[in-house]
Amino acid sequence: MIDARSLTRDFVVSRSQTVHAVRGISLRIEPGELVALLGPNGAGKTTTMRMLTTLIAPTSGTATVAGHDVVREPGKVRRHIGYVGQGNGAGHTQRARDELRTQGAIYGLDRRAARRRADDLLDGLDLADLADRKVSALSGGQRRRLDVAMGLVHAPSLLFLDEPSTGLDPQNRANLWEHILRMRAEAAMTVVLTTHYLDEADSMAERVVIVDHGEIIADDSAAALKAKLAGDRIVVTVAGDDARPLARLVDRLPGARDLVCAGSRVEAHVADGPAALPELLRAAIEADVRVGTAQAHQPTLDDVFLTLTGRSLREAEQETPTAQDSPQDSQTRKDVP
């Protein structure tokens, strides 16, 4: 569905300064996949997506999307892809239903088919009661659902979502995702999204591509990334002030590594945190070591990012010079300086 090879994109900010937003991204996405591009603001996610959707041309490299080259045949790519950008696709002075019909006409539906398709989508995305409302009068969540509806008018086989749930409250996010996943299941759609929400990438995507400084630094399922790159961690303390006897027990746990013993505290990576704790406690009782506290931490994608880059995703957001750091402002082009 997507075959990108060594894509790069530079932005010339001034005569002396060029920003290398994307520095060589190669990515293959098969039909039916649900892939999240995850990374801090300014990592190059949106720039990559804008190249794949023909909005901007790559500085170098090639990409085939839905069977067509993005530079040589942008028109054909556009015909086959759906796209929901960071902003609102519907014009604020337009009415919801009209915008859907216009999209239908653009993709070649006749008047009647466009009307029927608009009505189906309005029903499907719970917008039927708002069909004749002006877009400016819709709430953020309603507008976002309309954006998704507009991206689906021509039933594309490939849908791009650029930060689909930025600025939505948790309830609206969940609601939006429910719709997206249902549409995907019904139409066997390939979905590619960018996000800087860890939990969104973790829970929704079947494959997570982590992007940092314009490059892909990891690419796998969330579970595999976490197991491979972060792993479960346990933190235990002893009642006294010498944790060394406990550390010896921890060291015998399956998959134990990176053990740190400091004062009364022992910290280590293990293969399976929740299973390791009871085993450790049993061993501690047998060895007459008194355990004070015990915790098992299961890794998040943030731990994965930390392992890969040495900084957490949140720190990365703050250091980015171009980051606007306002998730509410969905109109900010986050990857373009």
Partner 1 sequence: MTTIGATAPSPTPVAARTRTGPLGLLRDVGIVLTRELRPLRHDPFSVVFGMVQPLVFLGLFGPLLVGSLGGQAGTAFGAGGVWQWFVPAILVMTALFGTSATGANLLFEFQTGAHERMLVTPLSRPSLLVGRALKEMVPLAGQAVIIVLVMIPFGFRLYPVGALLGLALLAVFGVGLGALSYSLAIAVRKQDWMFWVVQQTLIFPLMLLSGMLLPLETGPGWMRVASQVNPLAYLVDAERALFAGEIGSMTVLWGWVAALVTAAVGLTVGVRAMARSAD
- Which residues contribute to the site for partner 1 (CB under 8 A)? 50, 53-56, 75, 78-81, 83, 85-95, 98-99, 102-110, 113, 116-117, 120-121, 123-124, 147, 150, 152-155, 157, 182-183, 185-188, 330-331
Closest CB 332 distance from partner 1, rounded Å: 10
Minimum gap (Å) between residue 204 Cβ and partner 1: 19
Query: Which residue intervals of the chain are DSSP H helices?
Result: 45-52, 74-80, 96-106, 111-124, 140-152, 170-187, 198-204, 222-225, 244-251, 273-286, 301-309, 313-319
The pair of three-digit structure tokens given for residue 99, joined into one six-digit string:
């915008």
Give how far Cα 201 sits from Cα of 6, 73, 94, 250, 252, Å.
Answer: 24, 31, 33, 32, 34
Residue placing its CB nearer to partner 1 in the complex, 85 or 214: 85
In the complex, least distance from residue 182 CB atom to partner 1, rounded to whole angstroms: 8
Q: How far is the CB of 81 from partner 1 (least distance, A)?
A: 7
Residue 187 pairs with which residues in a beta bridge? none
What gap in Å lies between CA 38 and CA 24, rounded to an integer? Answer: 16
Q: Which is nearer to partner 1, 3 or 98 (CB)?
A: 98
Closer to partner 1 by Cβ: residue 191 or 276: 191
Nearest CB to partner 1, comparing residues 21 and 277: 21
CA distance readout (Å), 188 to 78, 156, 191, 235, 305:
19, 10, 9, 44, 31
Q: Minimal distance in Å, beta carbon 95 to partner 1?
A: 7
Q: Which is nearer to partner 1, 51 or 230 (CB)?
A: 51
CB of 25 to partner 1, least distance (A): 19
The answer to whether residues 59 and 24 touch, using CB atoms and an 8 Å cutoff, is: no
Q: Which is nearer to partner 1, 60 or 318 (CB)?
A: 60
Single-letter amino acid code for the residue at 325: D
Gap between the Cα atoms of 179 and 184, Å rounded? 8
